[in-house]
Amino acid sequence: MPNSVAFGRSASLPAGRSTRAPVQKSGSAGAPPQIDADGYFEGYASLFGVADLGRDVVMPGAFRASLAKRTALGVKLLWQHDPGSPVGEWLDIAEDQRGLRVAGKLDLDLPKARDLHRLVSRGSIDGLSIGFKAASETRDPATGLRRLQKLDLWEISIVSFPLLPQARIAPRGEGRGSIGGGLHASVSSRRRMAQF
């Protein structure tokens, strides 16, 4: 099934699958996600080598070419994969040994982004989900897993139910630059740029 398009990954559950699958949050159990007063946050939108509820496995290096071509500012930050609901911008998107690390900022001038800020601050919403076109993939006939080797990343959404349950905004105690220095560095450089 090469060159398939996958949008709304959080909404494309196979028949018979429940969105109430066990959630395996990373980091501090029960801690609300990290988001600051200005709307800056970070987390992981995808993890390498981990099967999602749709039986897709993203392989290391899958985003490399797409990120080189599009950069973080070319990837949309949406709510629930809705192209009519942009809620901010991605400041940093990078692959590391674990997966796709992201740092973003909600645009608090938008009513939906202000609502999301409140929900994320309380821990009511913390899922992240990728929207992409598969450029290179293989299917393992023994397990039925689809291994995604190259993806064209179009958007990353904040979602209620991520198809990869571990794809989350970082909990408190793991934010503020702990993920590769991302949030703290992005906030500082963004503020410096705004002064010029």
What is the DSSP secondary structure assignment for residue 169, as one 8-state letter?
B
Domain ranges of the chain: 5-10+32-194
Query: What are the tens digits of pLDDT across the range 66-113?
Result: 999 999 999 999 999 999 999 999 999 999 999 999 999 999 999 999
Residue 176 CA to residue 179 CA, distance in Å, equals 8
- Side chain identity at residue 125, one-letter code: I
* pLDDT reported for residue 118: 97
* pLDDT reported for residue 131: 97
Spatial CA neighbour of 12 closest among 169, 166, 152, 164: 164
* pLDDT reported for residue 58: 98
Q: Say what percent of the chain tops pLDDT 90.
A: 69
Quickly state the pLDDT bin for 152 (edges 50, 70, 90): very high
Query: What are the tens digits of pLDDT across the range 23-38?
Result: 444 444 567 779 999 9
Q: Which helix (H) or strand (E) holds 157?
A: strand 146-159
What is the DSSP secondary structure assignment for residue 190, as one 8-state letter?
H
Q: What is the CATH number of domain 5-10+32-194?
A: 3.20.16
- Side chain identity at residue 142, one-letter code: A
| The Cα angle at residue 10 between residues 7 and 12, in degrees rounded to 5 | 65
Residue 94 CA to residue 9 CA, distance in Å, equals 20
Q: Is the dihedral of CA 16, 22, 26, 28 positive or negative?
A: positive
* pLDDT reported for residue 184: 42
* pLDDT reported for residue 33: 78
| The Cα angle at residue 31 between residues 122 and 121, in degrees rounded to 5 | 20
